[in-house]
Structure 1
Amino acid sequence: MSSQPATGRAGVRPRRSQYAPRRPWRGALGALLVGGILVGVLLGALRVADFLQGVGNLSPGTIAKQVDPPAGSIPYKLQHGQQVNVLLLGYGGAENDAPYLTDTLMVLSIDSASHRVMQVSVPRDLMVDIDYGAGKSTFQKINVAYSIGADDGSWPGKKSEYRGKQGGGHLAEATVSKVTGLQFDGFVAVDFKAFRDVVNALGGVQACLDTPLDDNQYPDYHNGYIKGGIHFPAGCYMVNGEQALEIARSRKAIEPEQASDFGRARRQQMLLNSIRKKATSVNAVGRAPQLMDALQKNFVSNLDLTDINALYNFTARLPDTSVGHFGITQDDLVQRFYMQRGTCADFYADVLCPLDPSFATMRAFFANLFVDAKVVAEKAPVRIDNASLGVEDLGQRVENLLKPLGFEVETPIRRRAQTTSYVYDLSGGKFPKTAQWLATYFGATVATPPPGLTGDGVVVVLGRDYAMKWTGQ
């Protein structure tokens, strides 16, 4: 098992263009940190004040907010059954050639009424307009937004809120908000060094792998590869910060299960859960000073003490089953282009383009992250029939969106094209709430099943009308 910090052949690392083919392992890291950090920073009452003073979020009004939270604040929303949205950002930091590109952008959405949480990753390569000043905009990958806000020298004309220490976070919030339709209550930004330091400050965390993980093309810190690669056995064992980083970053494992996007996502979620559990354990309280020191120089946020305390009190009690995970990929709402016609960017750029350039379809998904529990409780079998004229993979893409929302979706079917979308309940009326929710979501009509339509659940037939919405027409 790998146990030493990454080393390899020396070399000068060139500055990486935001359009160059990416090194995808970097996107894993920020998501692993913040869940543990948000609960970890509350562990030492005496050191929390010093920590928040250091990041500039402790003021006389903080105590008053704790006692009587004002309407619209995070504590108030959590107390009154309202939704809270926090943007989690992970950036490379000083160890990387492009230190402020946010290779992880994750939406943490909390439905305090139903005590559910959704974590949705927004892909770093998604092309968007970044509006940073009055009449000033640049069409870039979404991960550039934080970097523009953090750089006050190269981007004249920025709005005042996009300047200073928190300028990057505020610009990232505004940009992701435009894409998702969500209004954010705050942001948290951490760099990769913080990941290692937090895991080490916790005394290590437990990693559990179903299969071995062997990666002979694991990158070092000098634009090369670790000699001999990295190797982790199957099973459960403690890992330190560097080892946890290697497990999170690996993309070129020789084991197919570990090399896939699904396998990597499972490892990331496993590590996030381990950090959360360790940070909230009784034994971790004594490590609060180390946690504060690990984060003070690598943590930027506009959350104050009462915000973090409220988030901690709410999320620390939630079981794992209350937390949902999803990542937007080229299997659902976006499409990857690299040296292909039809791209939304330069022909030679490795980018992700939205299937719906207006982002209306993406905003509709984020608006429905928390499906009514009564709808999900029907446990209706749902099938998507693609009756669009030209979007061949529409059924599979829609299936991938519905599953993380709690629906039991069957394999989609391709059928003869039709103009209008319909929802059919083939159960004889057993699933009325599911049928109506789906009809509302897709802008379809609940209708009597036509002769010859088979199934025992709810069938959604997506016609040309929905396909046009899907592609922003």
Structure 2
Amino acid sequence: MARSPDASNRVRADRRNGPPGCRPTAGLARIFIILRATLVFARLAPEILMDQPRRRRASAALGPARVWHYARAALALITGVAFLVGGFAVFRVWSAVHTISPRAQPADLITLVHAQKDEPGSLAWKIKHEERINILLLGYGGPGHDGPYLTDSIMLLSIRPAMREAIMISLPRDLWVKIPALPRNGYLMGKLNNAYAIGTDHKNYPNVRSDWKTDTGGGDLAAATVSQVTGQPIDYWVGVDFKAFRDVVNALGGVRIDVPTALDDPYFPAGESTGRMHIRIAAGWQQFDGERALAYARSRETTSDFDRSRRQQLVMLAVRQRVLSLNAIPRMLSLLSALQDNVRTNLRPGDMQQLADLAGRIQDQDIHRVAIDTSNLLRSGYSSSGQYILQPLDPTYIALHRYVAMALPDRVTVAARVPFQLQDGSRRYWLPYGIGTPASIMTALLQPEGWTAMLGPASPRLLARTEIRDGSGGSAAATVAWLQGYFDGALVVTVPAPTSGPAVTVVLGSDFTLKTFPAPSRR
């Protein structure tokens, strides 16, 4: 669509001044006042010194008044230099912060040195009131890559501040979803990784809803789409391109990762769109620079998208560990330089500070990791246009919503480490060949949350309603209550303590299996 000259002028003005609502305010004006005062100090101090009559060099010849006069001039010079350096640093920090976070206001910089007000809806409010915080993390190629804004990495980071616990849930890019991109609640059908691109590329998607025609439209649309998929409100999002990822890792001096399985990929792309290179990464502790860490996170030709999701989680944890282990102040400007042109977020500066403080209080062992894929709640297929896609086994998404909603159970209950087993008690379900049974899938999903879950033998008796058989004598009451909530009002039956094995058993009845693993529609 051709742009009018007036529109072009407005665009150029917005680039200079920021988008409407983000233009220089009193906060930014103060920065410019500092810079002007700096120049005045720097100009006047030498004149004060040069205007003094020549005196004898011996310090004894100078009276106290003259010594003070020279000292005052020197202080003026030092102050001028300090204002110049400080003013430049503040301006540079503001410029970088506003580029990264288009919604930021100059006054937000104050929250970097003063406590953020805990206004309703703010991150400080959520932390104070122990509300769950959901942050969407997005990784994409960026300019110069094929499909520059298609998100290769889509990860939901969910935090419970009171428990100082978090879970990273990776979602596959090929998940076929409704993207709420169009006006009047209209949507586009597409892969999940298209949402950020549709909200970012206004030239190729000119008819999107006005909500997405902003500097943060890509992340906002991706967040709205992921919210539909997971059933969770997305509070914040961060989008990072490959260059920022490489530069941040390098600015941190590299990261160390305990590689669980060796990686050998002779087909990894050598350039932006052509060429191949062979990457080999041995198992065990390895040191990664930015380029190698990116290759480790992106490789999939000899493994799968799902293996890649798990590697991306390892890399994210390694970056976090490195940031927390360093004194970040000396590296601040190099980190800002790495981030400025290649990161976007709706987090404001005060939120970033609060989030960094919160992250520092969460231990590595309290960050759980899971990937939603074809080994649990999804199946593969093809769209009407022939694209390879993934779809939920439960087309209503209720099973996925329930899992994500309960993905951070009470830490005290989990820490009790009450063992329980899951058994198949129904044959009324549908699963792709070879991926297991309902009981094996649920066992694999609950273990990453910290539960001591194990797969038991199939029940000899088929059940219409799921049962929780409690032989703990009441000692596992909290665990049983959580299981009853997760399995949608399962019947709790008190039984004698078993002679061997777990005291608690969950037998999955057809009420659960038919809803979670239904047969695909024949439409």
Residue identity in the other structure for 1:363: H
Structure 1 residues 91 and 412, CA, compared in 2 at 3 Å: closer, same or farther? farther
Larger fraction in helix: 2
1:51-200 aligned at under 5 Å gives the runs 51-55=96-100, 56-62=102-108, 63=110, 66-132=115-181, 133-200=183-250
Report the counterpart of residue 30 of structure 1 in structure 2: none
Moved more, 53-62 or 451-460: 451-460
Report the counterpart of residue 251 of structure 1 in structure 2: 300
Report the counterpart of residue 3 of structure 1 in structure 2: none
Report the counterpart of residue 390 of structure 1 in structure 2: 428
Moved more, 284-293 or 357-366: 284-293
In 2, are the aligned partners of 1:395 and 1:413 still within 8 Å (CA)? no
Report the counterpart of residue 378 of structure 2 in structure 1: 334
1:377 aligned onto 2:415: yes
Structure 1 position 296, deviation (Å): 0.7
Report the counterpart of residue 40 of structure 1 in structure 2: none
Structure 1 distance, partners of 2:347, 2:205, is 26
| Cα offsets for 1:80-110 (capped at 9, x unmatched) | 2121111111112123211111121111111
Residue identity in the other structure for 1:326: V
1:461 aligned onto 2:507: yes
Q: Secondary structure at the match of 1:380?
A: coil
Structure 1 position 59, deviation (Å): 1.3
1:269-284 aligned at under 5 Å gives the runs 269-284=313-328
Taking only the aligned residue pairs, the percentage that are identical comes to: 37
Bigger radius of gyration among the two: 2
Structure 1 position 45, deviation (Å): 7.9
Structure 1 distance, partners of 2:398, 2:90, is 44
Structure 1 segments of 4 or more deviating over 6 A?
260-263, 450-454
Structure 1 residues 85 and 266, CA, compared in 2 at 3 Å: closer, same or farther? closer
In 2, are the aligned partners of 1:57 and 1:305 still within 8 Å (CA)? no
1:346 aligned onto 2:392: no
Which TM-score applies when normalising by structure 2? Answer: 0.74
Which TM-score applies when normalising by structure 1? Answer: 0.81
| Cα offsets for 1:330-352 (capped at 9, x unmatched) | 111111225xxxxxx33732111
Match of 2:516 among 462, 470, 473: 470
Report the counterpart of residue 431 of structure 1 in structure 2: 476
Q: Secondary structure at the match of 2:267?
A: coil
Match of 2:95 among 50, 66, 87: 50
Unaligned runs of 5+ in 1: 1-43, 254-258, 339-344
Q: Secondary structure at the match of 2:157?
A: strand
Structure 1 residues 426 and 225, CA, compared in 2 at 3 Å: closer, same or farther? farther
In 2, are the aligned partners of 1:399 and 1:412 still within 8 Å (CA)? no
Moved more, 440-449 or 301-310: 440-449
1:439-450 aligned at under 5 Å gives the runs 439-443=484-488, 444-449=490-495
Structure 1 residues 193 and 380, CA, compared in 2 at 3 Å: closer, same or farther? same
Structure 2 distance, partners of 1:347, 1:390, is 32
Structure 2 distance, partners of 1:459, 1:390, is 20
Unaligned runs of 5+ in 2: 1-88, 432-436
Structure 2 distance, partners of 1:266, 1:148, is 26
Structure 1 residues 246 and 103, CA, compared in 2 at 3 Å: closer, same or farther? closer
| Cα offsets for 1:256-298 (capped at 9, x unmatched) | xxx4778655643443233223223345432221111111111
1:299 aligned onto 2:350: no
Structure 2 distance, partners of 1:262, 1:330, is 8
Residue identity in the other structure for 1:94: P
Structure 2 distance, partners of 1:403, 1:234, is 24
Structure 2 distance, partners of 1:199, 1:452, is 52
Structure 1 position 230, deviation (Å): 1.9
Structure 2 distance, partners of 1:262, 1:180, is 18
1:357 aligned onto 2:402: no
Match of 1:205 among 248, 255, 276: 255
Report the counterpart of residue 268 of structure 2 in structure 1: 218
Q: Secondary structure at the match of 1:113?
A: helix
Structure 1 position 418, deviation (Å): 2.2
Kindly tell me the number of residue pairs found equivalent between the two proteins. Answer: 418
| Cα offsets for 1:225-261 (capped at 9, x unmatched) | 535x1233455453321122222223356xxxxx477
Q: Secondary structure at the match of 2:126?
A: helix
Structure 2 distance, partners of 1:454, 1:405, is 25
Report the counterpart of residue 17 of structure 1 in structure 2: none
